[in-house]
Structure 1
Amino acid sequence: MVKMILFSHPTLNENAKALIDGLLRNKILYKIYTCVAIFEGQLLDKLSKHSKLNDLKRRRLDSTWQLLTKSKSFFEFGRLLASKFHVQFLVKHEKGFFCIDKVYQKHDKWIANNLIGEQKKGATAVYAYEDGALATFIKAKKIGMNCIYDLPIGYWRSARLLMQKEFDLNPEWAETLTGFNDSYKKLSNKDHELALADIIFVASTFTKKTLETYPGNLPEIKVIPYGFPEVRQKKIYEPLANRKLKVLFIGGLSQRKGLSYLFEAVEGMRNAVELTIVGQKSVDNCSALNNALEKHQWIPSLSHDQVLDCMKQHDVLVFPSLFEGFGLVITEAMSQGVPVITTNRTAGPDLIRDGVDGWIVKPGSAIAIKRVITKIIERPELLEILGTAAQKKAQTRPWSVYGQEMTDALSSLKIL
């Protein structure tokens, strides 16, 4: 029987779209289920051109997908509107009527309710993501469909083991560690999803390693890193003489990202380093975070195109995350010719050769970050050497390669 995969993802991010492209090219995609799907010429497509509705552009899909796409958008639209107008009680973690948890749960149950009919029409397997797979997988198991699971971030038990140390080491940053707010039910559901999976896909070796703390048997875990954005132009490297080194961080402003160590690393180097922080606060009332931001340039939000432009204007990206499933900013910066300093708790080791096209440093070490920054200041030619190598690496692995590798892996599965 030809393998036909029903693909489920509430928001269809970049990696999900690349996988869909691969499945379509290889003719093993049955149907796409998502929340908001916008196609050229539709009313929502026209509305997305309004400056206040720019966020809708991210939901535009290829017109060739239209006949294969099913969408149900009420809860996701509610979440987007509540977030935009800062109606916080509606999107409160796990409790709000339009919270992201509710969006995923409703989407999951919708697919589960349609599985029997879709199986009769030709679907043989379902591909779903963490927090949005439980009801779907339970129904799939009952009717004999295969369950393909995608874990985009590290396993929660490992997260708690690793991040608990931060509560002791940096208590003033502890309130930014909002991942500890998940309920027992939500965490139990994550474990149940894993238990039902026939195969698990992850995007980094680190994510696979975090699953070693799972208290049971797991199926095969396949590591396939995401792709790089298109390389459109070569970066022009400005001499470092008579100016400061432009250091950039992009990501959520949480201690999970290792932020305190970055701030500590540059604290005594402000005469030689200019630090820009791009990202939204995880909480508003963390004094340590607020005090640190006052000392540097802080940009709360940028569009994706603006992020890439911002990267081009900087010398090096520092992404010192303490727990990361992948870290798309790594591939984005490398595609722009910007070398990256990151840790081995990201996809860094899967993408970067230390000292060749970027740097891998010890997690939770301001000294390690400062050591690399100092090396760059002493040898500014490293920016062009490693940045050029990073951009060449990006050219070898565009998103289409990720899509094809995923499709090849899915096509060869014995479970299907």
Structure 2
Amino acid sequence: MALSMVDRRTSDIRSAPASYPGCWYIVCSGGPPLSNLSDCAKSYRCCRVAIVSGMESGLAGCCSIGDGSRFARCCTGTDIWGSSILSGLPSYGGALSRNRTMVIFGCFVASSNRGKSCRSSMGVLASEAAGVIVLSHPTGATHAHMLAEALSDTGFLERFYTSLDLTPLKPLIEHLPRALADEANRRVFALSPGKSRTVLLREALALMAERLPVLHAFELTRSYRRNGMNRQFDRAVARHLTKEKRARGFYGYIDSSPRSLEMARNMGLTSFIEMTTCFRAFDEALFAEERELQPGWAATLPPKRAGDGAFGADEQARILHMATHIVAPSRFVLRSLPQAVSQKSLLYPYSVAHKAVSLAPTSREKPLRVLFVGALTQRKGIAYLASALNRMGADCQLTVIGRKVTTDCQAVDRLLMRAIWHPSLPNPHVRRIMQQHDVLVLPSLSDAFGLVVTEAMGQGLPVIVTHNVGAGELIRDGQEGFILPVRDSDAIAQALHILAADRDRLEAMRFAAWYRAEELLQQNALADFVAQLSVLLKK
């Protein structure tokens, strides 16, 4: 769509046409007060709002709006009527200059030369957009969810294939109990109409059935999801892909896209494959060592895969060879790739999804409140966390949010006996628990990124991670948290002791993490990545 300019008065801002889902609302001098803007944002779930010049007061309250609205302060204190408005949008200029629909409120006065100047400056941001990328992800995980919405916002999304899209049920979801609504909203996508498509209904049934205690105990759906779900989803997407006549690109994920990637290549599409784990051979070597070092936790590691078998290293290498571009969320993942394909890789560190409006005072009372969020697997280094906590004794209280990957590991059971354990919680509830803790610990052996790290920072939670956690590349050791060697329970215990003993330093690190999350939000890596995709698709 081309740039749209709407001259609206304060009283009728709510009448913005619903045909602009995902648009930017640029509020300039003379624009509506923030209270009305808040109402508008609540009505249009996916709107992005930039506050321009003189509107900075009250932003904190505005940022607390839910339903996915996103706010950024831009151009404050600049001459918005001249070309400086473009330089005043450093975080978003790259994306806004490409295929961004915008509605401008309260900026234009027909008889004003300044209004004409503003219109002229903004006009250079407009260009025609057409859906060009087909995106697929079997579960619509957070990173895929965010990418789908960003592609939709910019007009680059042709279709998003997933297993379950509850967006049409959103009016009903709003009336569910809070916990159920939070769970259902994981599968609600703020996309333009007709851009999402559910495939493979049996997969959705398996995802829901896994929460039934009897089936979960026998691990029936877990086995299906691990071994069959991605294959069947991939075959379904490959069939649908042949009908996407307008598509110029395909974006898939390493363990759910071999058939659809091959179809994309046959159709002559530019293809992108995202690595959600390190290269298989790298992980297999790491886990083989770990089974020897920590036999009591070996049952929690991923199953061994033959190099030439399904999902093995040979198959991954073939997929990476077929792809036009390989996307990695961290340099840690890039280092694990075979040298033969590393030259066509792209770095895309995931964006911060949520940030708390304010922070509560740091608790001065013992014990230190420690949080772990993730699957209860030795891949996450939980043996080393357990050992560190044993050293700390009563100085630490552990909370765990994450499912068991097996019922046959006594070491996990012993860890949970000393913890407050939540097998699973919706994301909003996880964020509320983060705000009630002092530090997040994620001592992973191999974590391609670790979205929980940036989520924690957004809630003002310092993080303790290893060098093998991709998100650790976004923090500064000793400021927003600690970056430690893998397999070092002594180092974990020492970091916990520092925070438990020095609450002033803990408070400083909490605010440092919170401000770092704001920096990452302003950098907007997602917008930059979408702009990079658009350039590659035009080649």
2:478 to 350, 355, 379: 355
Report Cα offsets for 1:37-66 as digits up to 9, x if no partner: 12244798589669668643311122x433
1:146 to 265, 270, 289: 270
Write the letter of the residue equivalent to 1:74.
L
Measured after TM superposition, the shift of residue 162 of structure 1 is 1.5
Find the counterpart in structure 1 of residue 135 from structure 2. Answer: 7
Write the letter of the residue equivalent to 2:203.
E
Find the counterpart in structure 2 of residue 80 from structure 1. Answer: 207
Report Cα offsets for 1:48-103 as digits up to 9, x if no partner: 669668643311122x433122222412222123212242464253xx3xx35432
Within the alignment, does 1:162 sit opposite 2:295 as a pair? no
Cα distance in 2 between the residues matched to 1:304 and 1:400: 23
Cα distance in 2 between the residues matched to 1:399 and 1:279: 30
Report Cα offsets for 1:285-326 as digits up to 9, x if no partner: 211221232233333222212211111111111111111011
Cα distance in 2 between the residues matched to 1:73 and 1:55: 20
Report Cα offsets for 1:248-270 as digits up to 9, x if no partner: 11111111111111111121322
Structure holding more helix per residue: 1
Report the CA distance shift for 1:233/1:2 in structure 2 as closer, same or farther (over 3 A). closer
Alignment of 1:245-324 (within 5 A): 245-324=368-447
Find the counterpart in structure 2 of residue 185 from structure 1. Answer: 310
Measured after TM superposition, the shift of residue 106 of structure 1 is 2.1
Write the letter of the residue equivalent to 1:202.
A
Alignment of 1:8-27 (within 5 A): 8-27=136-155
Report the CA distance shift for 1:51/1:169 in structure 2 as closer, same or farther (over 3 A). closer
Structure index of larger Rg = 2
Cα distance in 2 between the residues matched to 1:191 and 1:38: 35
Report Cα offsets for 1:372-411 as digits up to 9, x if no partner: 1122233221111111011111112239923212211112
Cα distance in 1 between the residues matched to 2:414 and 2:482: 28
1:186 counterpart SS class: coil
Report the CA distance shift for 1:68/1:182 in structure 2 as closer, same or farther (over 3 A). farther
Find the counterpart in structure 2 of residue 114 from structure 1. Answer: 240
Write the letter of the residue equivalent to 1:385.
A
Report the CA distance shift for 1:37/1:301 in structure 2 as closer, same or farther (over 3 A). closer
Find the counterpart in structure 2 of residue 346 from structure 1. Answer: 469
Find the counterpart in structure 1 of residue 221 from structure 2. Answer: 91
Query: Contact 2:207–2:221 at 8 Å: present in 1 too?
Result: no
Find the counterpart in structure 2 of residue 220 from structure 1. Answer: 344
2:371 counterpart SS class: strand
Write the letter of the residue equivalent to 2:438.
D
Alignment of 1:201-212 (within 5 A): 201-211=327-337
Report the CA distance shift for 1:54/1:19 in structure 2 as closer, same or farther (over 3 A). closer
- The farther-off stretch of 189-198 and 124-133 is 189-198
Cα distance in 2 between the residues matched to 1:272 and 1:408: 48
Find the counterpart in structure 2 of residue 133 from structure 1. Answer: 257
2:526 counterpart SS class: helix
Report the CA distance shift for 1:394/1:135 in structure 2 as closer, same or farther (over 3 A). same
Find the counterpart in structure 1 of residue 116 from structure 2. Answer: none
Cα distance in 2 between the residues matched to 1:41 and 1:224: 32
| CA-based RMSD | 2.6
Cα distance in 1 between the residues matched to 2:467 and 2:241: 39
Runs (5+) with no aligned partner, structure 1: none
Write the letter of the residue equivalent to 1:128.
G
Within the alignment, does 1:408 sit opposite 2:538 as a pair? no
Measured after TM superposition, the shift of residue 27 of structure 1 is 2.3
1:330 to 439, 453, 457: 453
TM-score (normalised: structure 2): 0.70
Query: Contact 2:448–2:470 at 8 Å: present in 1 too?
Result: yes
Report Cα offsets for 1:318-373 as digits up to 9, x if no partner: 11111101111111110111100101101243211001111101111011111111
Find the counterpart in structure 2 of residue 66 from structure 1. Answer: 193
1:332 counterpart SS class: helix
- The farther-off stretch of 155-164 and 51-60 is 51-60
Query: Contact 2:467–2:484 at 8 Å: present in 1 too?
Result: yes
Runs (5+) with no aligned partner, structure 2: 1-128
Compare relative contact order (CA 8 Å, sep 6+) and give the higher one, 1 or 2: 1
1:148 counterpart SS class: strand
How many equivalent pairs are there? 406
Within the alignment, does 1:381 sit opposite 2:504 as a pair? yes
Within the alignment, does 1:33 sit opposite 2:156 as a pair? no
- Percent identity over paired residues: 27
TM-score (normalised: structure 1): 0.90
